[in-house]
Chains A and B, each alone.
Chain A
Amino acid sequence: MAEWSQGKVGGLTVERRGLCIEVNNVTRSFGKVTALKGLSFSIPWGEKFALLGPNGAGKSTTLKLLVGLLKPDLGDLRVGGADPGSKEARSIVGYLPEDASPYRSLSVRENLEYIGALREVEDVRGTADSFLDLLELREYEKSKVGSLSRGNTQKLALALSILHRPKILLLDEPLNYLDIPTQEKVISFLNSLNATHLVSTHIMSIAGRLTKNVIMLSKGAVLWEGSIDDLKKLGREDEPIESIVARMMVGAR
């Protein structure tokens, strides 16, 4: 699907931004547990959304469905206008799972070059170099991933998910384990990509730095959807946004 399409409004030709992510009435169960119950939402190209919700709300399942790791029992999903499992979709998506695991028996550089080769990144070595510097992994480039700290492993996992400069970012707790200076660098880099973001997180401050909109899930369905500014308006004066979110989630139980 094109990022922009033309349409007529009141006799005038206008450009409309197409939908990048479409989730239509999706249901997915694991045995007797229903993780998603008729979930529906859509995200236009270039928009940045946070996926919020308590544990078990269906955030990670939603992301896995969007990258084709799972298939829905009912409903359908489109990513960049294509089926999530298709090559077209996978070539434009950058996905970071929660507690991602790069290849432990490979070095940091080998991981970057291997994934770069699978992504057919031009100048794999140069790209690996730039990410080693950006994420301050240069001194560990020859170290096996198994010997890295959790923070450095997360940096590498993040680099592996974005080294092809994806048009669509699906990130599950991307800033986990990262120190504050690295968080700042990552936020700045992610925002510079001008990609469509869907970020699953528990931390509202991160949601606020990486996104402008929120999709709040509860029990596998959308509880609330809107901009972070609108979310703030739902609270009392000076009420922290975390408190508003917590109140909404508790209310939904």
Chain B
Amino acid sequence: MSQASSARVGRSRGRRFWGIVIYELLWNLRKKKLIGMVIIAFALATLSLALPTLLGGLTGESSVRNPQYVIEGASIGGLGFFLFGLVTAMNSMSSEFEGGTIIPLLTKPVSRTVIFLGKLTGAFLTLVPVYVLLFIYQVIGGTLVYGPQSDLNLVVFVLLGSLLSTTVWIAIVFALGSISRSTLLTALVAFGVFVGLSIVGTTVASFSGQQWVLTYLPGSGATGYTNLTATTSINVTQQGINGTSGATGLGISVSSGTDSIGATLATLVLHPSASVTFFRQVIQIGASGVTTTMVPTYTEPLWFVAAEAILIAAAYVFAFCVLSWFFFRRAEVTE
């Protein structure tokens, strides 16, 4: 193939790819599910901003000034990442098969790989403006309610981390959609995976002392604490924690999972030399009541925790995208 011909093919592929991306964006932004999810996210952000002030007004306390509100509290959270990933991607593949619109798509001179990549890019790009607006809203709201905010440059890390966290769920939901070709089944299985990992997985891993397993699963991961005192970050409730060796002077809470990349990166920028100690919980029922003891299990440098989370997230995105692509390429239209 001549150079000019190769360039023409490349341009042609590019135009078709962007055609699919634009359609996917239009489709996503018109989805009632996504619009509903955005409204809920903004409502929760508003509640998080206003509730302490409203409660302070009721109890007669003066308004709280918190320069760390945004960097500590501006987060979409594990459930939010999952739900945004789900509503963006749950019918991206399956409803094309269910509604028959896959036929006009697959009968055009566009390779299935280009269609797949276009859809994936469209789903990802849908989230970018939503997340950016949500963070801008929290920055402005936090400044208005809690006064001038510090470390606002770290919001960029939290935003990028949040996008990567959500992309893991998008990839999982995409794969489920490509395999099942049923929106309902995709949603149900995705919910099952999320609930299984976040509730059952966390409980079992925490009490069995095998918390490290959570690091390698999608979700919030294992929770540990830095060796620093929490002067600028989340206050750890120490009630009920007995002073066992190594568990005193708990620092900043750090999670190792794919849902915590943004917060972990922000903490890393602030405390690059910190290390994180992970614990297992031991519950003892005695005459004095129930006591929970946190026993240290292992310690890792914070940079390693952050890098590991990013690599694991990237590996999940890659693996589920390949799986999804494999099934999409082989899919036949029988209906």
A residues lining the B interface (CB < 8 Å): 30, 64, 67-71, 87-88, 90-91, 93, 95, 97, 99-106, 110, 114-115, 117-120, 160-161
Contacts and interface: CB of A to CB of B under 8 A. Distances in A.
B101 A103 contact: yes
Interface stretch (B102-110, B183-191, B215-223): B102-110
Top 3 closest A-B pairs, CB basis? A101-B100, A117-B19, A91-B109
A118 B26 contact: no
Contacts of B15: 117, 120
Given A103-B27, A106-B27, A120-B12, A93 B107 contact: yes
Nearest to B100: A101
Nearest to B330: A71
B332 A69 contact: yes
Candidate in B12, B15, B104 with the most chain A CB atoms within 10 angstroms? B104
B16 interface: yes
Contacts of B19: 114, 117-118
B199 interface: no
Contacts of B104: 100, 102-103, 115, 160-161
A69 B107 contact: yes
Contact of A95 (B107, B110, B111): B107
A117 B99 contact: no
B238 to A, nearest CB: 52
A96 to B, nearest CB: 9
Contact of A90 (B100, B108, B332): B108
Contacts of A103: 23, 27, 101, 104
A101 B20 contact: no
B287 interface: no
Given A70-B334, A118-B16, A120-B15, A101 B103 contact: yes
A105 B106 CA distance: 19
B208 to A, nearest CB: 45
Given A103-B27, A105-B27, A119 B109 contact: yes
A90 B27 contact: no
Nearest to A84: B107
A87 B103 contact: no
B103 A30 contact: no
Given A100-B103, A101-B100, A117-B16, 4 more contacts: A67-B107, A70-B333, A117-B15, A161-B104
Nearest to A111: B104
B24 to A, nearest CB: 10
B129 to A, nearest CB: 18
Interface of B: 12, 15-16, 19-20, 22-23, 26-27, 30-31, 99-101, 103-111, 332-334
A30 B333 CA distance: 12
Nearest to B103: A97
16 contacts: A30-B334, A64-B333, A68-B107, A69-B103, A70-B332, A95-B107, A100-B103, A101-B100, A103-B27, A105-B26, A106-B23, A106-B26, A106-B27, A114-B22, A115-B104, A118-B110
A90 B103 contact: no
Nearest to A145: B101
Nearest to B27: A105
A69 B105 CA distance: 11
Contacts of B30: 105
Contacts of B111: 87
A100 B332 contact: no
Contacts of A106: 23, 26-27
Contact of A69 (B16, B22, B109, B333): B333
A68 B12 contact: no
Contacts of A118: 16, 19-20, 105, 108-110
Contacts of A70: 332-334
Nearest to A101: B100
B309 to A, nearest CB: 36
B17 to A, nearest CB: 10
Candidate in B20, B22, B23, B99 with the most chain A CB atoms within 10 angstroms? B23
A5 B174 CA distance: 48
A115 B110 CA distance: 11
B109 A90 contact: yes
A133 B88 CA distance: 35
A69 B19 CA distance: 21
Contacts of A95: 103, 107
B22 to A, nearest CB: 8
A95 B108 CA distance: 9
A160 B108 CA distance: 11
Nearest to A160: B104
